[in-house]
Structure 1
Amino acid sequence: MIPVVLASQSPARRQILTAAGIDPQIIVSEVDERAIEAGFTGSVGDLTTALSEAKARAVIDRIRRCPPPELTGNGTVVVIAGDSLLEHAGQAIGKPGTAERTRAVWSEIAGQWTQLHTGHTVAVLTDADDRDASTETSAAGLSAIRSRRSTTSVLIGSPSPEELEAYIATEEPFQVAGALTIDGYGGAFVDRLDGDHLTVLGLSLPVVRELVTDMGLFWPDLWSPKG
């Protein structure tokens, strides 16, 4: 079994991996997302990829500085990071944070088609004994790192004003991209998806598996032993 680190505190991302047989160790990146967003000039989709890579690299640095006991002595460790943003009318809609901002977001997206982008970054770390110290990358413990984005179209429903206020009262939309999540109260307010529903939840397993495979690893080796 290859240990997996999830560079995210998202319960949904953890649940996706757990349901797929992977029991990740959680290490939160603590990346300043707003600072990255402020200086970014690319598309909304590309921003999610940039954010996921920044999170992965931050966690890699933390592992290098102070390796958790659970990760020592393993020849290989996989780090998985993700970031999601909803795009509407060319603008990124992240976590609204407040009731007022949630109302503003819903006034824009209700009844509209939107795009949910999730950026994924997967990195492979190796122990010192398995690295070639002649190169800077391998000497740092980073054997490989790759990123990829997936996008799903989302048709947002049109809740009544009373329904929206009840949803806001749950505080669920405050801390999720686009002010709603399909795996909670907000699922009733999404009319249609065109694409991978796991992308909307925050981590596309097909994309992560492709990245892992592209770096020469066997996906089932990430599965945790049963029992």
Structure 2
Amino acid sequence: MRIVLASQSPSRLGILRSAGVEPVIRPADVDEDALLAELIDAPPAERVAALASAKAAAVADDFPDDVVIGCDSMLLLDGELQGKPHTVDATTERWRRQAGKTAELLTGHCIIRGSERVVDTATTRVFFADATDADIQAYARSGEPLECAGAFTLEALGGWFIDRIEGDPSSVIGLSLPLLRRALYSFSLDVSDFWAR
């Protein structure tokens, strides 16, 4: 039995590898914009959980004997969900809005094993530094935050600009190990079953 990651996120892969797991990588092809448009009135946690569920379900049939993980993260800032900024200009603008503020990073998870399924969302409060405009622009130009939910990383250059978090650090990076552990236990599996030998 293997863990299958329905994502091409290097951060999620890094979390699993650091935790002793070498997953099968099978990125899911999901129209995230269309799904979010259908769920426009749903609560934020439900929206990110729905994205995670769509990703896991897209590949689960190909891995009936394995554990499939789908995840999605978005930042809840001033009551609005923020996805990946994609461009330097959008990243700069986002950071000018979030610098010095507190927001919630929501990471939806869907973990599937055969007919069993756990869907949950981890929420972590992020306290952003009041970064200078020069640092905001330099960080945006670095390219690092362009494809990150919330336009930041915790584990690399972005760590300079996060004063603190309240919650699960691994969920901020993209995949909650505590949430995954609880899901595996609910399937009567041990975490150590998946450690690379």
TM-score by length of 2: 0.95
* Corresponding residue for residue 173 of structure 2: 201
* Corresponding residue for residue 121 of structure 2: 149
What is the SS of the residue equivalent to 2:130? coil
Quote the offset at 1:101 in angstroms. 1.2
Quote the offset at 1:8 in angstroms. 0.6
Quote the offset at 1:43 in angstroms. 1.5
The alignment yields a C-alpha RMSD, in angstroms, of 1.3
* Corresponding residue for residue 37 of structure 2: 38
What is the SS of the residue equivalent to 1:9? coil
Matched, 1:170 2:142: yes
Deviation track 1:52-93 (CA, whole Å, cap 9, x = no partner) reads 1000000124x16xxxxxxxxxx8311111111110111001
Quote the offset at 1:28 in angstroms. 0.4
Q: Judge conservation of contact 2:96–2:133 (CA < 8 Å) in 1.
A: no
CA separation in 1, counterparts of 2:134 and 2:191? 46
TM-score by length of 1: 0.83
CA separation in 1, counterparts of 2:55 and 2:129? 32
* Corresponding residue for residue 7 of structure 1: 6
* Corresponding residue for residue 52 of structure 1: 52
* Corresponding residue for residue 128 of structure 1: none
Amino acid at match of 1:55: K
List alignment gaps of at least 5 residues for structure 1.
65-74, 125-141
Q: Judge conservation of contact 2:4–2:23 (CA < 8 Å) in 1.
A: yes
Aligned residues: 196
Matches within 5 A, 1:58-69: 58-61=58-61, 63=62
Matches within 5 A, 1:183-222: 183-222=155-194
Amino acid at match of 1:85: M
Matches within 5 A, 1:96-175: 96-124=85-113, 142-175=114-147
Q: Judge conservation of contact 2:28–2:55 (CA < 8 Å) in 1.
A: yes
What is the SS of the residue equivalent to 2:115? strand
Task: Report % sequence identity.
Answer: 38
Quote the offset at 1:143 in angstroms. 2.4
* Corresponding residue for residue 19 of structure 2: 20
* Corresponding residue for residue 71 of structure 2: 82
Q: Judge conservation of contact 2:87–2:146 (CA < 8 Å) in 1.
A: yes
Deviation track 1:5-51 (CA, whole Å, cap 9, x = no partner) reads 10111111111111111110100001111111111121112211111
Aligned structure 1 segments of 4 or more residues deviating by more than 4 angstroms = none
What is the SS of the residue equivalent to 2:66? strand
- Say which of 81, 88, 96 aligns to 1:92: 81
Range moving further from structure 2, 113-122 or 214-223: 214-223
CA separation in 2, counterparts of 1:15 and 1:112? 28
CA separation in 2, counterparts of 1:3 and 1:145? 16
CA separation in 2, counterparts of 1:7 and 1:112? 32
CA separation in 2, counterparts of 1:219 and 1:169? 39
Structure of higher CA gyration radius: 1
